[in-house]
Amino acid sequence: MIQTTLGKRRGATGVMALITLPILLGMAALAIDVGYIFTSVAELQNAIDAGALAGASALPIGDTEVKKRAMEAAAQNDVSGESVEVPVEAIEIGYWESVSATFTLASSVVDPLGLPPNAVRVVGQRRQLPLIFAAVLGHNYTNLEREAIAVMDSGRCLGIWGLNGVLGMGDIKTDSYDSRDGVYGPGNIDQNGDVCSNKDIQLQGSFEVHGDAMCGPGREIIIVSSPHAVWGVEGELSEPLEAPIVDVSEVKLSNDNATAGTNYDGLSDNGVLFDGDLALISDDNVTLWGGTYYLTSLTMASSSVITVQGPTVLYIDGNVNIAALGIVNVTQDPRALTVYCTGEWFIMAGDADFHGVVIAPDTDLQLFGGSEFFGMIIANTVDASGSVFIHVDEAAAAALLSRGKVPVLVK
């Protein structure tokens, strides 16, 4: 009786083993092949990432070079021992908008500003990747596909710095150009009009940032508006912005103030001395022929104007209020005019376009609509309101910060 019972149990165990063995083998096959697939996916993603980055680096050159570099970079990587081949039709050139995380083909966009594409999308596949153990269950291979999008970035933050905050209210637009290639206009317009801060960035109203929007680590980009767009990278800075130090100690003692004036006599056309707390009113005008100048404050009203004729550096050791024609740089090269300010506030509400670089790391800068700004801004805070269009000069920014363009993955 006991022997009969043991025999039955042994028989049942054998049946159970026969039933569970295929399941155990299937689970083992699944575990091994899943790991193999994950490794292959990572390899394919690395290859496609490399292709997108290489392609984006060639955007300033042209479409043909974009696709050539993307294919070559991807092919330098292997997936399960085979090189990755990306067909030319799998490389797309277009526009990346980070607020909606949207890539749009360049061929489907009519941009009234004539802005060039800023992104490259690469799609790569590994067809019929052979499986190891899953073939026992009838699954001989699998297909893999990955995507990567890279933006031709500006090297992060070559444009508008509000070290402790940026506030934009109204119709705000930014883009970029390179004064080394001539004046701003068709053929010389790009998408590196970056807006950056170590603190929060708040954008209200209608705005278009044709560049990056980068806030400080742990801070926020607050968008309270519609329509809006950031045609670049949106996120946190990898390290804090560090502004140049403004030192007026030497220029206070030695400067070219005596050569200013319409007749090189240090006087405006109305006899106002270009020195100290300068206040220009009515249709008063003064000319800066080129050199280094020093003021303790600057106020401009009515139709007054300061004309810059040559390379000029202007130090203002106090507050600035420009509510007139403003400072007119006749060279239209922002590198020919640098304004340093140490005051509490700097108000720009002039009617004439401004071409220059403003460096005021301890100053709150206010921009009011009415004219366009060409150059670069570094201030404690930047408050732009009304209809404001800022064109970042990449040449001026690169000379000041020594940062080049680099491609950045966004997807």
Residue-wise pLDDT tens digits, 107-142: 876 665 567 888 999 998 877 666 665 555 566 667
Same domain, 263 and 287: yes
Residue 207, classified by CB atoms within 10 Å of its CB into exposed (0-12), middle (13-18) or buried (19+), is buried
Residue where a domain terminates, one of 90, 118, 152: 152
Same domain, 131 and 240: no
Same domain, 194 and 331: yes
Summarize pLDDT for 141-191 with one digit per residue, the tens. Answer: 677 788 999 988 766 688 899 999 999 888 899 999 999 999 999 889 988
* CB proximity list for 123: less than 8 A, separation 6 or greater: 48, 86, 90, 92, 145, 146, 147
**Tokens coding 263:** 């007749």
* CB proximity list for 267: less than 8 A, separation 6 or greater: 261, 273, 274, 286
Of 211 and 33, the one with more pLDDT: 211
**Tokens coding 281:** 């009113």
Q: Residues 249-273: what's their mean pLDDT? A: 93
Mean pLDDT of the chain: 85
Summarize pLDDT for 353-378 with one digit per residue, the tens. Answer: 999 999 999 999 999 887 899 999 99
Same domain, 241 and 368: yes
In Å, how far are 76, 147, 161, 207, 212 from 151, measured between CA atoms? 21, 14, 21, 20, 10
Q: Residues 279-297: what's their mean pLDDT? A: 94
The pTM of the whole model exceeds 0.85: no
**Tokens coding 348:** 């720009």
In Å, how far are 110, 331, 375, 391 from 184, measured between CA atoms? 20, 13, 11, 8
pLDDT of residue 202: 92
Same domain, 129 and 265: no
pLDDT of residue 402: 66
Domain residues for the domain of 13 are 2-152
Same domain, 72 and 171: no
Pairing of strands 91-97, 119-130: antiparallel
* CB proximity list for 189: less than 8 A, separation 6 or greater: 113, 114, 115, 116, 175, 176, 177
Residue where a domain terminates, one of 152, 173, 191: 152
pLDDT at 89 over 70: yes
Could you please report the per-residue DSSP string of 7-68? HHHHHHHHHHHHHHHHHHHHHHHHHHHHHHHHHHHHHHHHHHHHHHHHHHHTTTT-HHHHHH
Residue where a domain terminates, one of 152, 182, 212: 152
What's the domain count of the chain? Answer: 2
Is residue 228 very low, low, confident or very high in pLDDT (cuts 50, 70, 90)? confident
Same domain, 371 and 234: yes
pLDDT of residue 196: 94
pLDDT at 97 over 90: no
Same domain, 16 and 135: yes
pLDDT at 1 over 50: no
Summarize pLDDT for 189-211 with one digit per residue, the tens. Answer: 988 899 999 999 998 888 889 99
Measured between alpha carbons, how far is 196 from 193 in angstroms, rounded to an integer? 10
Same domain, 370 and 241: yes
Same domain, 83 and 13: yes
Of the listed ranges 48-57, 102-111, 128-137, 217-226, the least confidently predicted one is 128-137
Please say whether the beta carbons of 333 and 354 come within 8 A. Answer: no
**Which parts of 289-342 are beta strand (E)?**
291-295, 297-300, 305-308, 312-316, 320-322, 326-329, 337-341
Q: Measured in Å, how far apart are the chain's first and last C-alpha atoms?
A: 71
Measured between alpha carbons, how far is 119 from 105 in angstroms, rounded to an integer? 9
Measured between alpha carbons, how far is 54 from 70 in angstroms, rounded to an integer? 5
Same domain, 27 and 56: yes
Same domain, 259 and 291: yes
pLDDT of residue 18: 57
pLDDT at 94 over 70: yes
DSSP state of 312: E
